[in-house]
């Protein structure tokens, strides 16, 4: 499913990921941009659980778990719960432009495996304030993300009118 609203430069960058070993790249990216703002969450119930992020548009599957020190690549490529969506839709979720239930109703997000675990992760991430995430990003990246989010939201509103 193509979303004309999503900024193309970022999508193009994301699409280049499959050229690299997928799980390791995603884990490196998550640790770089997100771990600082996520490390204080209550990860205890999720310790030892394995996650898979499946990018529907590229076929890429990244497997990882969460340790005390950050995200860790799962070399066995097995998961307790798998999230499937397009690269763009994952980005829209991360930027809080879309709500996961909306994407689920519209069949743009699929959660397979341990649903309770999937819900827990979704709800934990929802409880993180976007400002906190932005503050922990490198300044240049933070500006880019803020700009992308604003544009996506403006297009949402324009699209509804």
| Closest CB 95 distance from another protein, rounded Å | 9
How does DSSP classify residue 39?
T
Neighbours of 86 (CB within 10 A): 21
Between residues 15 and 96, which has the closer beta carbon with respect to another protein? 96
Between residues 69 and 161, which has the closer beta carbon with respect to another protein? 161
Between residues 110 and 146, which has the closer beta carbon with respect to another protein? 110
Identify the helix (H) or strand (E) that includes residue 118. Answer: helix 115-126
- Cβ 86 vs Cβ 142: under 8 Å: no
Beta strand 81-85 with 70-73 is unpaired
| Closest CB 43 distance from another protein, rounded Å | 11
Handedness of CA 9, 96, 142, 30 (dihedral sign): negative
| Closest CB 139 distance from another protein, rounded Å | 22
Between residues 53 and 73, which has the closer beta carbon with respect to another protein? 53
Residue from 51, 72, 56 nearest 124 by CA: 51
Could you give the CA distance from residue 65 to residue 80 in angstroms, rounded to a whole number? 10
| Closest CB 63 distance from another protein, rounded Å | 18
Please give the residue ranges that form the binding site for another protein (CB under 8 A): 45, 84, 96-102, 104-107, 110-112, 115-124, 126-130, 160-161
Could you give the CA distance from residue 27 to residue 30 in angstroms, rounded to a whole number? 5
| Closest CB 109 distance from another protein, rounded Å | 10
Between residues 21 and 126, which has the closer beta carbon with respect to another protein? 126
């Amino acid at each position: 499913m193509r979303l004309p609203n999503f900024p193309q430069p970022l999508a193009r960058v994301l699409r280049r990921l499959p050229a690299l070993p997928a799980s390791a790249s995603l884990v490196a990216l998550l640790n770089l941009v997100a771990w600082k703002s996520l490390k204080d969450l209550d990860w205890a119930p999720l310790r030892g659980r394995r996650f898979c992020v499946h990018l529907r548009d590229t076929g890429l599957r990244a497997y990882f778990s969460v340790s005390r020190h950050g995200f860790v690549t799962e070399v066995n490529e097995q998961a307790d719960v798998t999230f499937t969506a397009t690269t763009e839709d994952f980005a829209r979720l991360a930027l809080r432009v879309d709500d996961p239930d909306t994407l689920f109703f519209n069949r743009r997000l699929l959660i397979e495996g341990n649903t309770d675990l999937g819900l827990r992760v979704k709800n934990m991430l929802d409880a993180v304030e976007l400002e906190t995430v932005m503050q922990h990003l490198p300044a240049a990246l933070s500006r880019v993300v803020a700009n992308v989010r604003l544009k996506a939201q403006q297009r949402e509103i324009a699209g509804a009118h």
